[in-house]
Structure 1
Amino acid sequence: MERRIPWLWIGVAAALLLVPTSAGRILLDVIGGLTLTLLFLPLLLAGVGLIGWQVLRRRLRTCPNCGFTSLGSEACPACGSAFEVVDASGTAPSATSGTFFWGSPADGEIDARDVTINVDAVDLEASGSADGAIRESETT
């Protein structure tokens, strides 16, 4: 046995929406509020999730010995070595400018971002001057 279509209730809902009464206005306001909530809820949740991820990422610490990442402990839970002392700004006191984004350099290595390389331009087309400069530098 098939179920009949509730034409009476559809007619009552249409009358409430089409006739400009206070009940129709309230119903439209509720439907509009629910629609806006459903549309903006994913954007709101994405914003809260992004802020939460940034806060969590700032609290993560990576062990310089084994590379294990943990939250807010004084020593590495995996290998037991102590983390570096961190000052109030959130970076290690001996950290260079690039270590925040690229990690700390290995011991004995010089970071290329912190070094200035001076290059002298030599004209190779000039006759004799470049050859003489090269030969003088080789003899000294």
Structure 2
Amino acid sequence: MERRIPWLWIGVAAALLLVPTSAGRLLLDVIGGLTLTLLLLPLLAGGVALIGWQIVRRRLRTCPSCGFASLGTEVCPACGSPFTSGDGSEAAPEPSGPFFWGSGSDREIDARDVTINVDAVDVEASASGEMGGRGGDGS
């Protein structure tokens, strides 16, 4: 048996949306809130996932022998070698790179802690003394 189309309920819903009553405004607000929630839910989930990944990444320990990364163990599950005390398990060092995207390795040199010596060289005097190079004579 064929099911009939519920014209009565469609008419009631259309009247609520078209007639400016408080029930129509409430229905539009609920529909708008649900739509906004559905649109922003992926962005919210992505933000929570990014923060969760950063927390997990800080707790990962890399084995100095084989390079296997694990969470919260004193001995490497892959090769059995113990993690060293300087691996960052007790006190994590501050990352030298950017907070979210830096590699955070301890072997990087922080540019704020080094001195760079620069020697000033007169370009025109050094270019005229060279025979075959970048002189302005086209050679």
TM-score (norm 1): 0.62
Does residue 91 of the first structure (1) align with residue 93 of the second (2)?
yes
Counterpart of 2:21, as a letter, is T
Correspondence 1:1-140 to 2 at 5 A:
1-85=1-85, 86=88, 90-91=92-93, 101=103
Q: 2: CA distance between counterparts of 1:83 and 1:48?
A: 30
The list of structure 1 runs, each at least 4 consecutive aligned residues, that deviate by more than 4 angstroms after superposition, is: 102-105
Counterpart of 1:101, as a letter, is S
Counterpart of 1:90, as a letter, is A
Q: Secondary structure at the match of 1:41?
A: helix
Distance 1:37-1:102 versus aligned 2 partners, 3 A rule: closer
User: Please, which runs of 5 or more residues in structure 1 have no aligned partner?
Assistant: 106-110, 112-117, 119-125, 127-140
Distance 1:101-1:26 versus aligned 2 partners, 3 A rule: closer
RMSD: 3.4
Q: Secondary structure at the match of 2:37?
A: helix
Larger relative contact order (Cα-Cα within 8 Å, sequence gap ≥ 6): 2
For these two proteins, the number of residue pairs brought into alignment is 114
Q: Secondary structure at the match of 1:101?
A: coil
Distance 1:77-1:24 versus aligned 2 partners, 3 A rule: same
> Identity of counterpart residues, as a percentage?
72
User: Please, which runs of 5 or more residues in structure 2 have no aligned partner?
Assistant: 110-116, 118-125, 127-139
Counterpart of 2:45, as a letter, is L
Distance 1:44-1:22 versus aligned 2 partners, 3 A rule: same
Q: 1: CA distance between counterparts of 2:29 and 2:106?
A: 57
Return 73-82 or 15-24, whichever deviates more.
73-82
Distance 1:59-1:79 versus aligned 2 partners, 3 A rule: same
Q: Secondary structure at the match of 1:17?
A: helix
Cα pair 2:61 2:89 within 8 Å, conserved: no
Counterpart of 2:79, as a letter, is C
Q: Secondary structure at the match of 2:70?
A: strand
